[in-house]
Structure 1
Amino acid sequence: MKRILIVEDEKLIAELERDYLEMSGFQADIAGDGEQGLQLALGGEYDLVVLDVMLPAVNGFDVCKQIREKRDIPILMVTAKKEDIDVIRGLGLGADDYITKPFKPGELVARVKAHLARYERLIGNKQRKEEIRIRGLGIDAGARRVFLHDREIALTPKEFELLHFLAVNPNHVFSKDELFEKIWGMDALGDAQTVTVHIRKLREKIELGPSNSEYIETVWGAGYRFRL
């Protein structure tokens, strides 16, 4: 049985989320503030975290960042604000997706199922060795690790998925919409700006500088491609 951690300070909302998740066959635990949520997320064996942005003690962005530094599990952020900056900050810290209040409980369950299924497909065969090596960049798909000139680069799950997808389809130009569909899925909330943020983060980590696109190249008016 998959275990879900709900980090939500509004008790009625948290209990409603838990009830719907449990009716769908999940085991769900609730943390009422960011500090407790962080402790449980790092200390427990959870398969996914539903994380509210506005939390007492430690806010959701800080919780997301600290979870991502130590755990490779899907994080679904919940926000009551629709401003793009909140969404972008959350995704930039390693969140896999977001959902905006108010939402239907069934929508939350569907989102959780989709991300768990996608995550399992991506890591389902960890014993399989798939290594890509291009000009000092090494991508180990089985271990989900990336090295640049023998130095390991820390990537969020979505950054890794985006880099790996581009690398196994070199020289092909993908639009932002195509990349969003491939990596986040048709049922994910968000827009092409999500792709832009993740490409920028990737470049900060693997390129020599903002004007040096050795690996990920922008094709103006079309999208992005991975250069061989």
Structure 2
Amino acid sequence: MANVLIADDSVEMSSILSEYIKKEGYNVLVAADGREALDIFSKNELDMVFLDVTMPVLNGYDVCREIRKTSNVPVIMITSHGDDYEKIMGLGIGADDYIVKPCSPNEVVARMRALLRRIYFEHSGNDNKTQFRYDNLIIDMDNFRVCIDEKQVPLTKKELEILWTLADNRDKVFTRENLLNSLWGYDYYGDCRTVDSHIKRLRAKLDEYPHDKWNIKTVWGMGYKFEVAENNES
């Protein structure tokens, strides 16, 4: 049975959500603070994580950052504040969706279903293509792995999705708006700086490994593309 983690210091909120999510056929694990959430995460295979932003010990942002160091599990942040800044911050550190309290359990379940459908669709296209290879780079979407020279690169889910999108459309220029619309996939309250920050972190991780025959290139005034050596004039 698939596992869902609900991390929220509100016993009432956790209890209500648990009952609704269990009806969807999931086993529910509950944490009352951020440290307990990370402990459960480290000991279980999870299929979805709900994180309250204002948890004691470690807040939801800190927990999300720790999760994204090793896992691409879908994460939905839940908060009592609807400020754009908080949404931008949550999505920028790797959350997949953002729900503002008060919210109905039915809405939460609907957002969970939509996110899981979107992730499944993104990684199972009609041609069943789930792996990209070029030179020393392998992107394996079935296992959420990126390897360079057979060494795994620790990418977050969004970093991996950006790399896949660019690499699988070699030499096609994607604007920041293209990437926001295709990879976030819902009403996004942030701006294009989110894409830039993800690209910056992605490049920093890739640059720790040799890749002189391919690169993520900035096309000034337009966006980004995956460029290979034979098309690189420099």
- TM-score range for the pair, normalised by the shorter chain length: 0.7 to 0.9
CA displacement 1:164-223 (0-9 Å, x = unmatched): 1110011212222322232222x3544444333322221222248xxxxx6223334433
Structure 1 residue 90: deviation in Å?
3.2
CA contact (8 A) 1:20 1:105 kept: yes
Q: Does residue 130 of structure 1 match 2:109?
A: no
Structure 1 residue 53: deviation in Å?
1.5
CA contact (8 A) 1:2 1:26 kept: yes
Question: Gapped runs of 5+ residues in structure 2?
Answer: 209-213, 229-234
CA contact (8 A) 2:80 2:101 kept: yes
Q: Relative to structure 1, is the Cα distance of residues 218 and 70 closer, same or farther in structure 2, using a 3 angstrom cutoff?
A: closer
Question: Gapped runs of 5+ residues in structure 1?
Answer: 209-213
CA contact (8 A) 1:140 1:146 kept: yes
CA contact (8 A) 1:216 1:225 kept: yes
SS at match of 1:215: strand
SS at match of 2:69: helix
SS at match of 1:224: strand
CA contact (8 A) 1:97 1:189 kept: no
Q: Relative to structure 1, is the Cα distance of residues 164 and 117 closer, same or farther in structure 2, using a 3 angstrom cutoff?
A: same
Counterpart amino acid of 1:49?
Answer: V
Q: Which residue of 1 aligns with 2:15?
A: 15
Give me the whole-angstrom Cα distance separating, in 1, the residues matched to 2:21 and 2:141. Answer: 31
Give me the whole-angstrom Cα distance separating, in 1, the residues matched to 2:203 and 2:84. Answer: 21
- Number of equivalent positions: 220
Q: Relative to structure 1, is the Cα distance of residues 190 and 18 closer, same or farther in structure 2, using a 3 angstrom cutoff?
A: farther
Q: Which residue of 1 aligns with 2:166?
A: 166
CA contact (8 A) 2:132 2:168 kept: no
CA contact (8 A) 1:42 1:70 kept: no
Q: Which residue of 2 aligns with 1:218?
A: 218
Q: Relative to structure 1, is the Cα distance of residues 99 and 215 closer, same or farther in structure 2, using a 3 angstrom cutoff?
A: farther
SS at match of 1:49: strand
Structure 1 residue 27: deviation in Å?
3.4
Aligned alpha-carbon RMSD (Å):
3.0
Structure 1 residue 130: deviation in Å?
2.5
SS at match of 1:227: strand
Q: Relative to structure 1, is the Cα distance of residues 188 and 5 closer, same or farther in structure 2, using a 3 angstrom cutoff?
A: farther
Identity of aligned residues (%): 37
CA displacement 1:79-133 (0-9 Å, x = unmatched): 33444554444334432232233334333222211222233445669xx872422
Does 19-28 or 170-179 show the bigger shift?
Answer: 19-28
**If the length of structure 2 is used for normalisation, what is the TM-score?**
0.77
Q: Relative to structure 1, is the Cα distance of residues 148 and 44 closer, same or farther in structure 2, using a 3 angstrom cutoff?
A: closer
Give me the whole-angstrom Cα distance separating, in 1, the residues matched to 2:45 and 2:143. Answer: 19
Does 165-174 or 97-106 show the bigger shift?
Answer: 97-106
Structure 1 residue 139: deviation in Å?
2.7
CA displacement 1:60-87 (0-9 Å, x = unmatched): 2222222233433111122334445544
CA contact (8 A) 1:146 1:152 kept: yes
CA contact (8 A) 1:88 1:197 kept: no
Does 156-165 or 88-97 show the bigger shift?
Answer: 88-97
SS at match of 1:155: coil
CA contact (8 A) 1:98 1:190 kept: no
Give me the whole-angstrom Cα distance separating, in 2, the residues matched to 1:167 and 1:27. Answer: 36
